[in-house]
Structure 1
């Protein structure tokens, strides 16, 4: 079974649910719902990373996520922080977060000297290295093409792995997200090429995390399908991830994925 990361955006401008959970009580309620539906992790974000997002201060980002972290950690809930800022990452680990999901692949400027002692104190800590063509918030004008995207991702992952290992991070802690949608390119076929060649990536980087939930590339190939109508196409894509036994899947709709996973597994047993 895949470990499912339920997306909890505590932002004003996330592309599919911005503003819905900005109030701490609403965010906690949504987090509880995701857990009840079968999420293994809550992937909490206080800074949107979509193509139209506005950067907030580090203080504001932490102010948004802190109440949720403080609420769930004492209950034993596994929290992943979706943040590329080292100062926010450090606070989160100190508060009990045990996974850092970094869209910059840990390239964003800042002091990361806290990571090695954090691993010495918390050996189970995980780092998710995400690839993005611009190493930050999603942007237009990518030079990636379907023909070269997987090789570019492999090179990026190798570089980041090498640097983090040099910093004293244990290799089993490293997980890898190829990035999808505008993190790769406005051309949807770039994302589809990654999905077609997941086996190549998985061979070298078995600890893969993939998130396709409601992403632009799914809507764009269907005539600009609105975000509110991307649930079924998301699920079709997530079934593809299950087929390739991707170990970590990040999604908005945990319940539908858990239901589909159960049916998928039953069908496989019948073969």
Structure 2
């Protein structure tokens, strides 16, 4: 059974829900809703990573996420912090976050020596290395093609794994996200090639996280489908992830994925 990460964006400019949960009470209510629907983790972000996003200050990013972390951690809720800034990651771990989801694959400038000592104190801590063609907020003008993408992602993962293990971080703590949509390319077929060849990635990197929820590549192949109308397309992709037994799935709509997962599993059962 996949572990589901419910997306909780506390931003002004996230592509799907920017501005909806800036108020801490609204964010907490949304977090409770995601948990009630069956989320295993809340994936909390105070810095949008979409193609039109602006960088906020570290102070603003932490101001957005801190109340949510402080509210849920004492209740035993598992929090994943979606942040690429080392200082925010450090504060998050100190506040009880037990998963760091880094869209730069832990390449953003700054001192990360704290990771090895913190992971010794908290061996359950998970680090998610995400691939992005520009190692930062999603951008257009990628040079990735469907033919190149799997090799490029594999090379990136190998390099980051080697560097982090050299920092005395156990390989078992590392998870890998190929990135989707504009993190790969504006060409939707690049993302679809990754989905088609998940088995290749899983052979070397079995601890995968994949997030396809409402992403641009889904809308683009369906006639520029607006974001609110991408739920069926999202679910089709997420069923594909279930088929390949992807261990971590990141999604906005936890309820529809949990319901689909139950039906999917019942369809696979044999007497």
Q: Would you call these one fold, judging by a TM-score over 0.5?
A: yes
Aligned residues: 271
Does structure 1 residue 118 correspond to structure 2 residue 137? no
CA displacement 1:238-262 (0-9 Å, x = unmatched): 0000000000000000000000000
Q: Please state whether the residue corresponding to 1:100 is helix, strand or coil.
A: strand
Query: Is 2:187 aligned against 1:187?
Result: yes
2:40 maps to: 40
The answer to whether 1:92 aligns with 2:99 is no
- The answer on 1:221 being equivalent to 2:221 is yes
**1:87 to partner: Cα distance:** 0.4
> For the aligned residues, what is the CA RMSD?
0.6
What is the Cα deviation at residue 73 of structure 1? 0.2
Counterpart for residue 237 of structure 1? 237
Matched residue of 2:235: which SS?
Answer: helix
Give the TM-score taking structure 2 as reference length. Answer: 0.99
State the alpha-carbon separation in 1 of the partners of residues 145 and 158 from structure 2: 20
Show structure 2 runs of 5+ residues with no match: none
Partner of 2:159: 159
Query: Counterparts of 1:180 and 1:256 in 2: how far apart (Å)?
Result: 20
- State the 4+ residue runs in structure 1 displaced beyond 4 angstroms: none
Quote the Cα distance in structure 2 between the aligned partners of 1:270 and 1:207.
Answer: 27
Structure 1 residues 247-262: aligned runs within 5 Å? 247-262=247-262
Deviation at 1:270, TM superposition (A): 4.1
Q: 1:98 Cα deviation (Å)?
A: 0.2
Question: Aligned equivalents of 2:236 and 2:56: distance in 1?
Answer: 34
- What is the distance in 2 between the residues matched to 1:247 and 1:113? 28
Aligned to 2:66: 66
State the Cα deviation string for residues 154-201 of structure 1 (Å, max 9, x = none).
Answer: 000000000000000011100000000000000000000000000000
SS in 2 for 1:154: helix
Q: Distance in 2 between matches of 1:148 and 1:64?
A: 38
Instruction: For 1:23 and 1:270, locate their aligned partners in 2 and report how far apart those are by CA, in whole Å.
Output: 47
**2:4 alignment counterpart:** 4
